[in-house]
Amino acid sequence: MDYLEQSFRLETDAELLSQLLIEHPLQPFNRGYFDASDSRLFSYDAGWLAAADSRAQAVEKPFIDTQLPEPETAARQLELQDLVRFLINPSAWFLQHRLGVALAEEEAILEDTEPFDLNGLPAYLLRAEMLQQALQGEEPGELLPLAAARGELPHGEAGTAVFSRLSEEIRQIAERVRRRAEEVLEPQEVDLQLDGFHLTGWLEGVTPAGLLSYRPGKLKAKDRLRLWVNHLALCALRQQTAAEAPLSLHVAEDQTLILHSVEAPGQLLADLLQAWWQGQCAPLPFFAAASLSFAESGDLQRAIKVWEKDHDSGAPNWAVSTAFRGMQPLAEEAFSGLATRLGGPLLAASESIKAARDR
């Protein structure tokens, strides 16, 4: 088959193997045998047709169809980084902290072929290690023999070439971080009373100008939300002391996110805490990437595409799939309302500079 695929091409753009091979469903009652979507799949068995029809008519029951009672009032205290974790994935928080359900993610399948490049989590972890070394003034090249010995790189010259490419990418990110970095202050304690909630924790990466964070990857919705929550907390603290309003930054591989000061950070934090409280009673239809996409564009179809991309990326979100089983959460009015309410202020305070211009 490999020889045929390498040596022959069809006149159309269709893949050769897709025309030569027929992939049969595992079950004989699969709907594909009876709906004529692929003429190569067919069945004349009336019994299996009845089974396929019954499956098509089945309606999946929602995971939860009623609201849970509110927690006790004493539970209205939250740690700052727990608020971040909640906003990044409210479904996981609800399942784990309210229902005590821990969903195990699929184990990664071990590669059975020799790698010729570095992708995914291994690449990210190595890039993070290289970035820390670069920011500490060490040469990233010192990691080459160690990474090779750990099996993180392709063998031989291919591994050296991959590492050289990563080193240049990391050098550029490190330069952007250094240029933005001022004197890094001691972690700052957070202790805020906000509309009946008690928010506590610590802020790291505090500079005289504001917060500085970085990550050797492209800017994601979780980066925006994490910086936003921490930025609001710092704004609220500096308002208490009449200090200069902060300007917070997150340096990513593709761009730098800037968050400007806001007039009422305490009210915005209280609104996020109200959303957290609401999410203790039922799964909250807030999905970081899709919700921020809708808040930015007001386009539901665009948000749905972001949602589908997230869920078809090979790393399905089992918490969301479980909490919203049998439902269409993006079709609900609650989705658009929450996206605008929680994401709108973040986007209004945001400014992005492409990496190519941030030099």
Query: Which amino acid, one-letter code, is at 86?
Result: F
Q: Are residues 252 and 312 in the same domain?
A: yes
DSSP 8-state symbol, 116: S
Same domain, 133 and 155: yes
Are both 25 and 144 inside the same structural domain?
A: no
Say if 109 falls within a structural domain.
no
Residue 68 lies in a domain: no
- CB–CB of 118/162 below 8 Å? yes
Q: Which residue, 33, 328, 216, is CA-closest to 336?
A: 328
The verdict on residue 63 lying in a domain is no
Task: For residue 295, tell me if it sits in a domain.
Answer: yes
pLDDT in tens, the chain (359 residues): 667 766 777 766 667 777 778 878 777 877 777 777 777 887 877 887 777 666 655 556 788 888 899 988 778 999 999 999 999 999 999 999 999 987 665 544 444 445 555 667 778 888 899 999 888 888 877 888 888 888 888 888 888 888 888 888 899 999 999 988 878 889 999 999 999 999 999 999 999 999 999 999 999 999 999 999 999 999 999 998 877 889 999 999 999 999 999 999 999 999 999 999 999 999 999 999 999 999 999 999 999 989 888 776 544 578 888 888 888 888 878 999 999 999 999 999 999 999 888 77
Considering the domain boundaries, does residue 112 fall inside one?
Answer: no
**In this structure, what is the dihedral angle of CA atoms 264, 268, 269, 273, given to the nearest 10 degrees?**
150
* Count of domains forming the chain: 3
Residue 115 in domain: no
Q: By three-state DSSP, how is residue 7 classified?
A: helix
Domain extent, residue 176, equals 120-180
CA dist 46 → 27, 34, 243, 347 (Å): 15, 10, 77, 56
Q: How many helices (H) and strands (E) does the chain have?
A: 15, 7
Residues 176 and 187 in one domain: no
Are 220 and 93 contained in the same domain?
Answer: yes
Q: In terms of domains, do 267 and 139 share one?
A: no
Residue 271 domain flag: yes
Domain co-membership, 78 together with 144: no
Is residue 212 located within the same domain as residue 289? yes
Kindly state the tokens that stand for 44: 């004349």
- CA–CA separation, 272 vs 261, rounded Å? 17
Is residue 31, in this structure, part of any structural domain at all?
A: yes
Residue 281 and residue 290 in contact, taking contact as beta carbons nearer than 8 Å: no
Domain final position from 164, 180, 196: 180
